[in-house]
Amino acid sequence: MHAELPLPEPQALAHSDTLAAHIRAEIAAAGGSVPFSRFMELCLYAPGFGYYSAGSTKFGAAGDFVTAPEQGRLFAATVAGVLAMALQSLGPQSRVLEVGGGSGAFAEVALKRLLQLDALPDRYAILEPSADLRERQREHLARTLPPTVFELVEWLDRPFDDEWDGVLFANEVVDALPTPRFAVRGGEVFEEHVAMDADGRFILVDQPADALLTAAVRHVERTIGAPLPEDYRSELLPQLPYWVQAVGGGLRSGAMLFLDYGYPRREYYLPQRADGTLRAFYRQRMHEDVLRWPGLQDLTASVDFTALAEAGTGAGFDLAGYCSQASFLLGNGIDRLLAEAEERTDEAGALRLRQELKRLTLPEQMGERFQAMAFTRDVDLGAAFLLGDLSWRL
């Protein structure tokens, strides 16, 4: 498997070695191991060295993976139409909070579409922990947006600290939250830790799980109606309700919209998925060696959408709907936007647009693997989830 991965440049390897040394020092200080969730947090977000904190290209064909907004303009324009419904009903002081701004591609297209729909928010905030990504987003949006629209954009270190009305949007964010890994052995719950072997290489070891993780695993077993099999390993985010409450914080009236890849709980914890969903992405290749090259590869796990539904409703919101990405985009007019865009381009451009639509909606591409879920409070998203609603599967 390693032979199939292109070797990083010497400078990148030196960068990874520096982060690895930092992780080894933390492991030693902790008594010999740290939870996998902490290892993942350092690999992704360690200041200056984590995957999302350093300067390499992450998104698009030149990076390690391609998100929906990087496919073209259809995705963001369609989502913006849904956001516009909420913003128009909430009034001129409404805001948008985008969690994790990626390259800035979504914000660019969404703001231009909201301008067309006369639904611009009072503020468009991007909650972005990476200083490097912030600067890239800022440069991109300053170059591509009209100055009066760019003036609405701001970057936050933390969610709004006051009460606000508006819309929270997160695309491929929950999958990147540092996740605990658990194992079930002899009826007991263990937590996967990262330790070092005699040569200083990272290895996985099991430690008894704490009360929070144990209770979360038992909750999963009660929901699926059976104990998990012996030696079953997977991911679980007991902190997800706290995270949703934190990012949704002072949202008084409005909506939260999440798009990500994952499954409802009964499918997430199927017996055949006995080693979980954790994987790494490196230069458009997916592989399972998550301990390799800290800081140089993305680490990600699928989303338990039942857990997300529990977290959103537990925070005091109503579940507005849950469906596949294909159903969400088709139900909200992506085909109409395609037709309009085809009229403004040549045949080569029209072909690219049709290919973009296929990548976003075909089952074997992103259409079924990615799913959409929204929560509302004192606002109506209309028929946004009328096509293909899957809430019954949660």
83-119 residues labelled b (16+ CB within 10 A) or e (exposed): bbbbbebbeeebbbbbbbbbbbbbbbbbbbbbbebeb
Q: Does residue 10 contact residue 3 with C-beta atoms inside 8 Å?
A: no
Instruction: Say what the pLDDT of residue 6 is.
Output: 85
Task: Classify burial at 211, counting beta carbons within 10 Å of its beta carbon; exposed 0-12, middle 13-18, buried 19 or more.
Answer: exposed
Neighbours of 203 (CB within 10 A): 12
Note the pLDDT of residue 235.
Answer: 98
Going 76 to 80 to 83 to 85, the CA torsion angle's sign is negative
Structural domain span for residue 119: 68-176+242-264+303-393
Domain containing residue 83: CATH number: 3.40.50.12710
Does 6 reside within a domain?
A: no
Rounded to whole angstroms, the Cα distance separating 72 from 61 reads 12
Q: How far apart, in whole angstroms, are the C-alpha atoms of residue 321 and residue 385? A: 5
Classify residue 269: in a domain, yes or no. Answer: no
Residue 117 included in any domain: yes
- Please compute the mean of the pLDDT values over residues 242-271 and round it to a whole number: 96
pLDDT band at 158 (very low <50, low <70, confident <90, very high): very high
- Which pLDDT value is given to residue 127? 96
Which of 60, 64, 49 has its CA nearest to residue 5?
64
Residue 218 token pair: 């038992």
**CA-to-CA distance for 174 and 306, rounded, in angstroms?**
13
Q: Answer whether residue 191 shows pLDDT above 90.
A: yes
Task: Answer yes or no: is pLDDT of 332 > 80.
Answer: yes
Least confident of 7-11, 110-114, 189-193: 7-11
The answer to whether the CB of 328 falls within 8 A of the CB of 385 is: yes
Task: Judge whether 198 lies within some domain.
Answer: no
The pLDDT assigned to 55 comes to 56
Total domains, the chain: 1
Q: What is the pLDDT of residue 60?
A: 44
Per cent of the chain over pLDDT 90 is 85
Inside any domain, residue 342: yes
Q: Is residue 363 part of a domain?
A: yes
DSSP SS3 for 60: coil
331: in domain: yes
Q: What is the mean pLDDT of the chain?
A: 93
* Structural domain includes residue 49: no
Look at residue 58 and tell me whether its pLDDT is greater than 50. no
Region 243-270 average pLDDT: 96
pLDDT at 294 over 90: yes
* Pair 334, 74: CB distance under 8 Å: yes
